[in-house]
């Protein structure tokens, strides 16, 4: 008998690094399987500036589980990986580094700056990809992608030009979300609205000479949270049905400060219930006002714009902003008053401010300039400053048209969203989708393929030469300086990574559409929905048939993790502490559909313990000369324990397959966990220990070594998707132990396929031994008998199972139930404890050890419980409605349960009778 070659202590760090580089070097992530069925997942490309956070850990663990599972099942599994150039984020990182060196972007030409970003990417862009490796992700690194790769560039250009030619991309002047810090437009999705404490000011706008309201007042009261924009007011709106103002609709007010004469218009936007019912209209700096302005007949080009790209006041086209305001920031910044404060001050001095009267706690009235109010304020998600609605020319995608087909596909089930609860959210957004602003005023990104002549005519083409051809010879062209929204290029990820738009791309032919997309719900609109649109537009089909959305990983207290809160859990720290396998298993076990995951380090620790348990089980096997198996099919077995474990392997395998088919990661991981620990370690290994007490080469020991080795191997395979490192290590340790008869890696092994016929007699026998053992242990515990005590037992009348099992498995019964010898026959008179197993009642004489009163109490407790069950079932069965209307199976089950409990009651009563 050889000893275990495994170290006593399981050290994850050592084996993780070793196996990952081995897999990568030997091509384990993408074995050659030209004839196999494809299985394809594309990884949501992390920002090239990113580092692995806990959300990545969840997202990528789930994907790796799926891809490893499908690889083991023999598919041509491809997991596409790469990074996103992340326009704004990356440009910000490089600019910040320049700032640290007292340098800035504008010290360089565009080309020089872009080169610096590339330099940064080559130097520091690999952080996250190395961290994904530490997590064990089996991606195809040999084809690592980047959204600014030359072939990606071609895909982006072609998509833009095609969409433009089809009228689905257009240039428009309208209000955009302008980030005055980053000085670029952003899309609606990149705006975070937050409730902020602010003020609500009330002003008098004087009516034009002589005009009065019906109550005689010669002014209209308007209220606003943004007084500074009154410098660009172009109207006052009242509700069409508001009688207070009916007489002045069509008349004018003369604005204080600018003296501009603006009309009073009727528009449903004005809410009669809010404030005075009249609102100032600034079409150039408010989305609602923009629409009111359009309805009032003001063209976008004529709308007044009083702010520059920094959101500092500039002169408007009618020249009416007084000089003293020019150059002020829109509002107070860094302690310096802005246009807002200046406007309020001027209006107050001029008597146009209507003070807000508040009552103190003592009931005294106090005057304030403004009413305190909570304001939903838009912030840029990257820049973090308040967004300014700003009138500019930008490029837009007609998202409404592109959304039509994906909506249909989700409705028809052509695309399945898991869990389905997200469908409503998806439809809600897609059915109300707004034009997508895709141009960004940045330097880093895909430059828009549009050229302008000196008259502002635009020519869209995939290169300058074609644009020139369109424009004609001799026309001077200037390329649009803007770049595209990062999400425009990542929307092409499922096919651009596979070779589109080049011709003859076997990889693309085979792996598009992909098989599944896994993403967090937070990028459902940013990315998933746009891939659907672009997949349909470019490829004529959905990019994948199934979309799995998982939740967020939250801090232990349920709050969102954020750097500012300081509650961020670093996945790499958890890997260092517990191992990647434990972290991965945690993610899988906690991933139930439709729920966020709360961080729980104790649980990660528990899965590290699970890995240790498996490690030690393998050490035990090796010490008994149990080695690697060489067959896929279950070995032939005669021993009941061996047949039983084969049957259990088969059923856990089916359980995992069913769970994986439904993407129930929790169910799959729990199944293999329970099987490994509770079935294999706790029972099977204990049951087979006695087999190895005899001669090493007796037939029972030989059979058991083969079966145990096989079962352990099946555990490695089934657990591998969840815990790739330890399983690969143990797989090879087992192979080494049996003299290297198996040279291939677990990562490309085959999924179990037991196909065994298991006799019911064998499984019944083991279930009976387990029942007996559990009952003996429990009785001893309650009676205070030392667990190690070996006791003689009598079985007055033995069932068939009892007789045969006692004959064949007396060693296991001695070891586990600690009953020896067991005599079939009447027990001698005297104090004894009664223990059942199935329908058998064992009598264990305990002269001098046992307190009869205690044993009686124990049996009575059990009797009461059994009687209660029996009575409840009897009640149900005596209910005619139940017997007639319930499903026949339910009635049958109730009858069987009743019979079982009645018999139990009988046995217990008999046992009690013996004691009195």
Partner RNA sequence: GGGCGUAUAGCUCAGUGGUAGAGCACUGUGUUGACAUCGCAGGGGCCGGGAGUUCAACUCUCUCUACGCCCA
Shortest Å distance, C-beta 310 to RNA: 25
- One residue of 319, 788, 800, 913 binding RNA per CB under 7 A: 788
Give the one residue of 22, 777, 858, 895 binding RNA; rule: CB under 7 A: 777
Given 226, 619, 705, 901, the residue binding RNA (CB under 7 A): 619
Min. distance of Cβ 64 from RNA in angstroms?
A: 21
CB of 875 to RNA, least distance (A): 8
3-class secondary structure, 3? coil
291 vs 308 by CB, closer to RNA: 291
Identify which of residues 477 and 685 has a Cβ nearer to RNA in the complex.
Answer: 685
According to DSSP, the β-strands at 261-266 and 235-238 are parallel
First to last CA, the chain: 53
Least distance (Å) between residue 762 CB and RNA: 21
Angle at 603 between CA 602 and CA 605, to 5 degrees: 65
Task: Report the nearest approach of RNA to the CB of residue 200 (Å).
Answer: 17
Question: In the complex with RNA, which residue's Cβ is closer, 463 or 778?
Answer: 778
CB 19 within 8 A of CB 729: yes
Closest Cα to residue 428, out of 403, 461, 453?
403
CB-nearer residue toward RNA: 6 or 402: 6
Segment 789 to 828, residues that bind RNA, using CB under 7 A: 818
CA 637, 642, 647, 649 torsion: positive or negative?
Answer: negative
Q: Where are the beta strands (DSSP E) in 754-831?
A: 791-795, 819-824
Residue from 608, 679, 705, 742 in contact with RNA (CB under 7 A): 608
SS3 394: strand
Q: Residue 355 or residue 378: which is nearer to RNA going by CB?
A: 378
Closer to RNA by CB, 220 or 711: give it: 711
696 binds RNA (CB under 7 A): no
Distance CA 556, CA 574 (A): 14
Element at 507 (helix H, strand E): helix 506-511
Nearest to RNA of 462, 810 (CB atom): 810
User: What angle (nearest 5°) sits at the alpha carbon of residue 647, between those of residues 642 and 652?
Assistant: 125
- Which pair of structure tokens corresponds to residue 130? 């190395």
Q: Give the range of 122-130, 438-446, 502-510, 675-683 binding RNA by CB under 7 A.
A: 675-683
Closest separation in Å from C-beta 882 to RNA: 4
Is the CB of 338 or the CB of 571 nearer to RNA?
Answer: 571
- What residues pair up with 38 in beta bridges, in sequence order? 76
Return the residue of 413, 887, 913, 916 that touches RNA, per CB under 7 A: 887
Compute the least distance from the CB of residue 673 to RNA, in Å.
7
Q: Restricting to residues 384-443, name those near RNA by CB under 7 A.
A: 421, 424-425, 428-429, 432
Smallest separation (angstroms) from RNA to the CB of 684: 9
Q: Which three-class secondary structure state does DSSP give residue 577?
A: helix
Instruction: Tell me how far apart the alpha carbons of residues 179 and 90 are, in angstroms, rounded to a whole number.
Output: 16
Q: Which is nearer to RNA, 774 or 820 (CB)?
A: 774
Nearer to RNA, 153 or 400 (CB): 400
Q: Which of 108, 118, 120, 882 binds RNA (CB under 7 A)?
A: 882
For residue 302, give the 3-state DSSP assignment.
Answer: helix
**Residue 612 burial by Cβ neighbours in a 10 Å radius (0-12, 13-18, 19+):** middle
Site string for RNA, 166-205 (x = CB under 7 A): ----------------------xx---x------------
Nearer to RNA, 302 or 860 (CB): 860
Contacts (CB under 7 A) with RNA, residues 531-550: none
Tokens at residue 254, please? Answer: 């003369």
Contact status, residue 676 vs residue 581, Cβ threshold 8 Å: no
Q: What 3-state DSSP class applies to 520?
A: strand
Please classify residue 3 by burial: count the beta carbons closer than 10 Å to its beta carbon, then call 0-12 exposed, 13-18 middle and 19+ buried: exposed
Q: Which CB atom, from 508 or from 590, has the smaller least distance to RNA?
A: 590
Q: Which of residues 586-605 bind RNA (CB under 7 A)?
A: 590, 592, 594-598, 600, 602-603
615's CB contacts (< 8 A; 6+ apart) are 6, 10, 726, 730
DSSP summary character for residue 727: H
Report how far residue 830's alpha carbon sits from residue 833's, in angstroms, rounded to the nearest whole number.
10
DSSP state of 525: I
Question: Minimal distance in Å, beta carbon 620 to RNA?
Answer: 3
Tell me how far apart the alpha carbons of residues 548 and 593 are, in angstroms, rounded to a whole number.
9
102: left (phi over 0), alpha (psi -120 to 50) or beta: left
Q: Is 781 in the site for RNA (CB under 7 A)?
A: yes
* Min separation Cβ 515 and RNA, Å: 23
**What is the token pair recorded at 529?**
């929905």
Question: Which structure tokens are listed for 472?
Answer: 């004609």
User: Which residues 6+ apart lie within 8 Å of 300 measured at CB?
Assistant: 173, 174, 290, 294, 391
Q: Does 890 bind RNA (CB under 7 A)?
A: yes
User: How near is the Cβ of 461 to RNA at its closest, in Å?
Assistant: 34
Token duo for residue 604: 């990660």
Is the Cβ of residue 568 or residue 681 nearer to RNA in the bound state? 681
Per DSSP, the chain holds a count of helices (H) and strands (E) of 29, 32
DSSP 435: P
One residue of 470, 616, 736, 902 binding RNA per CB under 7 A = 616
Q: Looking at beta carbons only, is 217 or 595 nearer to RNA?
A: 595
Tell me how crowded residue 268 is: count the other CB atoms within 10 A of its CB: 11
Which of 150, 319, 558, 566 forms a contact with RNA (CB under 7 A)?
Answer: 558
CB-wise, 458 or 523, nearer to RNA?
523
CB of 438 to RNA, least distance (A): 17
Dist. CA 772–CA 812, nearest whole Å:
11
Which residues between 82 and 121 bind RNA (CB under 7 A)? none
Residues 911 and 916: their CA atoms lie apart, in Å, by: 9
338-346, 498-506, 720-728, 880-888 -> range binding RNA (CB under 7 A):
880-888
Encoding tokens for residue 444? 């880093």
Asked whether the bond before 494 is cis by omega within 30 degrees of 0, the reply is no
Number of amino acids touching RNA (CB under 7 A): 63
Q: Which of 787, 800, 825, 848 binds RNA (CB under 7 A)?
A: 787
Sort strands 76-80 and 38-42 into parallel, antiparallel or unpaired.
parallel
The distance of closest approach from Cβ of residue 663 to RNA in the complex, given in angstroms and rounded to an integer, is 12
Min separation Cβ 810 and RNA, Å = 16
Site for RNA in 360-389 (CB under 7 A): 376
Report the residue number, 97 or 781, with the smaller CB distance to RNA: 781
Binding mask 833-872 for RNA (x = CB under 7 A): ---------------------------------------x
The nearest distance, CB 287 to RNA, in angstroms, is 8
Residue in the block written with tokens 């109730």: 894
Question: For residues 353 and 410, which CB has a smaller minimum distance to RNA in the complex?
Answer: 410
Between CA 649 and CA 680 the distance in angstroms is 9
Which residues of this protein are in contact with RNA, per CB under 7 A? 9-10, 188-189, 193, 376, 421, 424-425, 428-429, 432, 558, 560, 590, 592, 594-598, 600, 602-603, 606, 608-609, 612-613, 616-617, 619-620, 623, 666-667, 670, 677-678, 681-682, 685-686, 689, 774, 777-778, 781-782, 786-788, 818, 872, 876, 879, 881-882, 885-887, 890, 894
């Amino acid at each position: 008998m050889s000893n275990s070659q495994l170290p006593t202590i399981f050290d994850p760090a050592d084996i993780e690094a070793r196996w990952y580089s081995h897999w990568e070097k030997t091509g384990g992530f993408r074995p050659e399987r030209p004839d196999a069925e494809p299985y394809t997942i594309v990884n949501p490309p992390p920002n090239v500036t990113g580092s692995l956070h806990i959300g990545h850990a969840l997202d990528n663990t789930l994907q790796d589980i799926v891809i490893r599972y499908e690889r083991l099942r023999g598919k041509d599994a491809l997991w596409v990986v790469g990074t996103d150039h992340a326009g704004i984020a990356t440009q910000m990182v490089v600019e910040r580094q320049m700032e640290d060196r007292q340098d800035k972007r504008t010290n360089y030409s565009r080309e020089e700056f872009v080169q610096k970003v590339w330099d940064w990417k080559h130097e520091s862009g690999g952080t996250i990809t190395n961290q994904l490796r530490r997590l064990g992700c089996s991606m195809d690194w040999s084809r690592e992608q980047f959204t600014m790769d030359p072939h990606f560039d071609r895909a982006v250009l072609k998509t833009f030009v095609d969409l433009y030619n089809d009228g689905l991309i257009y240039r428009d002047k309208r209000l955009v979300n302008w980030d005055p810090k980053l000085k670029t437009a952003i899309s609606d999705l990149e705006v975070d609205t937050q409730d902020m404490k602010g003020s609500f000011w009330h002003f008098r706008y004087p009516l034009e000479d002589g005009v009065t309201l019906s109550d005689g007042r010669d002014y209209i009261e308007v209220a606003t949270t943004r007084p500074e924009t009154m410098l660009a007011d172009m109207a006052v709106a009242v509700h069409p049905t508001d009688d207070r103002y009916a007489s002045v609709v069509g008349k004018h007010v003369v604005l204080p400060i600018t003296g501009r004469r603006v009309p009073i218009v009727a528009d449903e936007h004005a809410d009669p219930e809010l404030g005075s019912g009249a609102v100032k209209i600034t079409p150039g700096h408010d989305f609602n006002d923009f629409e009111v302005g359009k309805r009032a007949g003001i063209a976008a080009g004529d709308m007044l714009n009083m702010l520059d790209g920094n959101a500092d006041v500039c002169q408007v086209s009618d020249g009416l902003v007084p000089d003293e305001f020019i150059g002020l920031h829109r509002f107070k910044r860094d302690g310096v008053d802005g246009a807002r404060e200046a406007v309020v001050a001027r209006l107050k001095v001029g008597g146009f401010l209507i003070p807000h009267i508040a009552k103190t706690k003592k009931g005294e009235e106090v005057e304030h300039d403004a009413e305190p109010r909570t304001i939903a304020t838009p912030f840029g998600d990257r820049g973090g400053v308040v967004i300014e609605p700003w009138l500019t020319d930008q490029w837009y995608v007609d998202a409404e048209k592109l959304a039509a087909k994906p909506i249909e596909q989700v409705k028809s089930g052509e695309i399945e969203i898991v869990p389905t609860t997200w469908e409503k959210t998806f439809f809600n957004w897609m059915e109300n989708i707004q034009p997508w602003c895709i141009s960004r005023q940045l330097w880093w990104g895909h430059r828009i393929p549009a050229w302008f002549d000196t008259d502002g005519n635009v020519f869209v083409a995939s290169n300058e030469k074609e644009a020139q051809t369109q424009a004609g010879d001799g026309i001077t062209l200037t390329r649009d300086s803007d770049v595209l929204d990062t999400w425009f290029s990542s929307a092409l990820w499922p096919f651009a990574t596979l070779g589109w738009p080049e011709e003859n791309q076997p990889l693309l032919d085979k792996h598009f559409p992909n098989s599944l997309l896994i993403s967090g719900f937070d990028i459902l609109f940013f990315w998933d929905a746009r891939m659907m649109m672009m997949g349909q537009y470019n490829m004529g089909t959905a990019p994948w048939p199934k979309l799995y959305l998982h939740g967020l990983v939250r801090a232990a207290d349920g709050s969102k993790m954020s750097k500012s809160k300081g509650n961020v859990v670093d996945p790499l720290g958890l890997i260092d502490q517990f191992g990647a396998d434990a972290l991965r298993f945690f993610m899988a076990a906690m991933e139930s559909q439709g729920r966020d995951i709360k961080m729980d380090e104790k649980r990660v620790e528990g899965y590290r313990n699970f890995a240790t348990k498996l490690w030690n089980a393998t050490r035990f096997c090796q010490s008994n000369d149990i080695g690697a198996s060489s067959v896929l099919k279950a070995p032939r077995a005669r021993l009941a324990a061996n047949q039983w474990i084969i049957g259990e392997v088969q059923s856990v395998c089916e359980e995992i397959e069913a769970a994986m088919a439904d993407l129930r990661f929790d169910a799959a991981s729990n199944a293999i966990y329970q099987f490994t620990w509770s079935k294999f370690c706790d029972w099977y290994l204990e049951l087979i220990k006695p087999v190895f007490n005899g001669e090493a080469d007796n037939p029972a020991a030989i059979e058991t070594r083969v079966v145990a080795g096989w079962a352990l191997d099946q555990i490695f395979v089934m657990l591998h998707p969840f815990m790739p490192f330890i399983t690969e290590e143990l797989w090879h340790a087992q192979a080494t132990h049996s003299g290297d008869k198996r040279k291939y890696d677990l990562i490309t092994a085959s999924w179990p396929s037991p196909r065994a016929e298991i006799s019911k007699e064998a499984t019944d026998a083991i279930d009976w031994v387990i029942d007996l053992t559990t009952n003996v242990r429990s009785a001893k515990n309650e009676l205070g008998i030392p667990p190690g005590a070996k006791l003689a037992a009598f079985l007055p009348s033995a069932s068939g199972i009892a007789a045969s099992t006692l004959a064949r498995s007396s060693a296991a019964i001695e070891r586990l139930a600690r009953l020896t010898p067991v005599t079939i026959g009447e027990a001698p008179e005297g104090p004894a404890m009664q223990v059942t197993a199935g329908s058998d009642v064992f009598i264990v004489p305990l002269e001098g050890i046992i307190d009869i009163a205690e044993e009686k109490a124990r049996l009575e407790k059990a009797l009461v419980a059994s009687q209660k069950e029996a009575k409840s079932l009897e009640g149900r069965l005596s209910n005619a409605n139940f017997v007639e209307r319930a499903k026949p199976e339910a009635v049958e089950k109730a009858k069987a349960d009743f019979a079982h409990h009645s018999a139990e009651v009988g046995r217990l009563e008999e046992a009690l009778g013996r004691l009195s």
